[in-house]
Amino acid sequence: MNAQKKKKGAIGHIRARTVLPWKILKCKLTGARKPLVVLLYVTDRCNLKCTYCQGHWSGRKIKDYATAEIKGIVDECVGLGTVHFTIHGGEILLRDDVEELIAYMKGRGLYVNLVTNGIIFPEHIDKVRGIDSLCISLDGRETANDANRGKGSHKKIMEAIRAAKKEGFKFNVQATITAHSKGEIGYLANLAREIGYHQQFSLLLKPLKPDQNDIGLTEDETKSALREIIHYKRAGYPIFTSYRTLNNALNWKYPYTKAMLSVDEYARDRGAIRCYYGKLKLVIDADGFAYPCSSLNHEFKALNVRDAGVKAAFEHVVAANTCEACYFLTQNDWSLLLGLSPRQYLAQVKIQLKEIFNLY
C-alpha cells in the first residue's frame, strides 16, 4: 500500500510539474503576457529579524490579509491564467489559516510552493502536507547562520530540515551569501548531500542600508563565492542553482552595485539572461502592492490589488516595468524556465527525478 501511495504521489508530482511549461509555450507562441506564476507574501509578521531582509517586513507592521481576501486574490489570479503559486512571508506559519489556504489553492488546481524560515515548521507540519514543494532557509553552520538570521535559529532550522526529509516533503534549502556566511558554501553542499535535498544559493537582493554595511561582499568575494558554488556543482553535489545562472553572475560586465539592466541597456548588451518577471510572473506584497520582482518593491510605482484588482495591477506591471536583466540567482533560474531554456528544463527534469526517487 505504501508503495502504491508513493507511485501515485510521484505521478501526481510529475503531472503537476508539466502544466507550467505547457502554459509558457502557449504564451510564447501567442505573445501573450499572463501571470502564470504568482509569488504572494501573505503576512508581514515574522519570528526572525534577518540582517538582509529585502522587504524589512518585521518593521512595517502591516495588518494581515483576511482569509477571504487571499481567496479572492487566488480566484482573480486563476482567472488570469495562474497555475503556480508560491506563498511567502514574513513567516507564513504564523497565520492560523495556512491549512485552509493551501486546501483552497489546491482546490483551484494550483501548484503550491511554500517558503518558510523553518522555526515553527515541525509543530505545524500537519497543516502543510497538501503543498507540492517547500523551501527552507539556512545560511550555514550555527555561528554564520545565527549572525545572519538570529541567535538560536540554526538549531530550529535543522530540526525543520530533518523533519521535512523524514516526512517525505519535496524541498530545497535556500542560503543567502553574506560576509558572515561566505565561508559556508562547502558545509551547505555537504549537508545537502548528506541529508538528501537540493541546495539553492542567493546573493543579496537589495542595496545595503548604512546599518547593514557589515554583511555585504566585495566584488572579489562575490566572484570567489560563485566559483566555489560552481566547483561543488561540478563535483556532483546537489546544487539547485544552474550553471547558466551562476556564470551570468560571475561574468557580470558591470560593478555589482549595478544589479539590473534596463530594457535599453539590455538591447545594447544581450549577454545577460533576459528577465521574464513582470511578463509571466507577478509578485504581490503583503500590503497588496503588485511588483515585477521583490527586488523592485521600494522603487517601482505599483498599483494595489486591493484597490485596482489583480488584472489592472498586472497590466500596469507589464506596461511600466523597465528592468530587463539582473545577476540575481533565484530570479534568473526562474527566468530561464519562463523563457523555455531547453538546458534549464533538462536540468530541472534531473532534479525532479532525484527528488521523486530520492537519488542524492
20 lies in some domain: no
Contacts 24+ apart (CB under 8 A), 159-164: 159/118, 159/121, 159/122, 160/116, 160/118, 160/119, 160/121, 160/122, 160/136, 161/118, 161/136, 161/195, 161/197, 162/195, 163/121, 163/122, 163/125, 164/121, 164/125, 164/134, 164/136, 164/197
Mean pLDDT in runs of 10 for the chain (360 residues)? 53 77 96 98 93 68 93 98 96 97 97 98 98 97 97 98 97 97 98 97 80 85 98 97 98 95 95 97 97 92 98 98 97 97 92 82
Give the range of the structural domain holding residue 291, as residue numbers without chain letter. Answer: 37-357
297 lies in some domain: yes
25 lies in some domain: no
231 lies in some domain: yes
28 lies in some domain: no
pLDDT of residue 2: 54
Instruction: Domain count for the chain, please give it.
Output: 1
CB 145 within 8 A of CB 107: no
Kindly state the cell numbers that stand for 224.
Answer: 570567489
pTM (2 decimals)? 0.94
11 lies in some domain: no
256 lies in some domain: yes
184 lies in some domain: yes
* Placement of cell 539590455 in the chain: 266
pLDDT of residue 1: 40
CATH number (domain holding residue 141): 3.20.20.70
Contact partners, residue 33, CB within 8 Å, separation at least 6: 27, 279, 280, 318
